[in-house]
Chains A and B, each alone.
Chain A
Amino acid sequence: MSPQTEHDFENRLRALYRRTADEVDTVAAARLRETRRRALEAAEKPRLFRWLMPMGAVAAGLLAVVVIWPSATRHPGPSRAGTSVSTADTSLPPDPEGADPAMYQDLDFYAWLADQPSATRNVHRGG
């Protein structure tokens, strides 16, 4: 087969291919258009998420700061105050209102217990 004949052979096959592709029926053509539209739309979603995720995180952080900041400054927490008192100045008397009432009922027992250092030492030595 001559090169020209060979070339013609390929050209005719290609022409037929393109003609039949152009003559795709209307239903198939409509489906292909819809598929293309969905593919392009689906590609936009990840792009939006790429921006929305960090923006959402920043917005949530700002909201948390706005909500927590005023309450933290207006009402200092009791635990923080208690901790600072107990660690900074241990010589202060205990808060009578905060103490356990049962402790006052057993004061005699605690006083007796405080007078028994030698017995404790004996227990440790003997044990």
Chain B
Amino acid sequence: MDMNSTASLADSGERVREVPATLDLFLARIERRAWRMARLALGDPEEAHDAVQDAMLRLVRSYRDKPAEEWTPLFWGILRRRITDLQRRRKVRSIMVGWLGGGRNDDGEEMPAWEPADHGPGPQRTLSDQQAWAAVGEAVRDLPQRQREAFMLRTLEQLSVAETAAAMGCSEGSVKTHLSRALGNLRDVLEDWQ
């Protein structure tokens, strides 16, 4: 797979974020990326949809009166927590299945851990993007959680360091550390991209 041919140079530097006029417009702009990111973290499209839905509801109910400039870090912070909750719940479910003997087949052999399959892209996505994203997704999923969050929010969503720190509930220094390690790990795994 030639990943270099699948990606083009994107805009460089800090992204100048346009302030949306309404919450509807803000969510319309962000919803697909939010779903894509949740799916990347969770692996399952249905759970990703649930996470995005909860994040939307929470933002609209609790923060709609906040200034529009604050919606972006608030939304991603809510979505990040929701994803973490779902991952914890899944872990507990896996443990329960193991306790109840569901982790072994009839021959007593240990079955693979439950992991919802990523069913891949829609038909309109190009094959090269599909393959490239699958590889990136796998590498990102293998990152430790905090590194993954820092990478997704700071690199993919281009939140500022301060916004990323607010969304992750940590210091700006921690964000820089997590991001640096995440990029280092990704560079090692995605050698074809360099």
Contact = CB atoms under 8 A, between A and B. Distances in A.
B122 A25 contact: yes
Contacts of A20: 36, 121, 125, 129, 133
A36 B155 contact: no
Interface string A36-52: 10011011001000000
Contacts of A21: 32-33, 35-36
A5 B190 CA distance: 14
Interface residues of A, number: 36
A10 interface: yes
Q: Is the interface of B mostly helix, strand, loop or mixed?
A: helix
Contact of A36 (B12, B56, B124, B136): B56
B74 interface: no
Interface of B: 6-12, 23-24, 27-28, 31-33, 35-36, 45, 49, 52-53, 56-57, 59-61, 64, 121-125, 129, 132-133, 136, 155-156, 158, 183, 186-187, 193-194
Interface stretch (A26-34, A65-73, A82-90, A113-121): A26-34
Contacts of A12: 7-10, 193
A24 B156 contact: no
B33 A18 contact: yes
Contacts of A5: 194
Nearest to A34: B53
A99 interface: no
Nearest to A17: B156
A46 B8 CA distance: 46
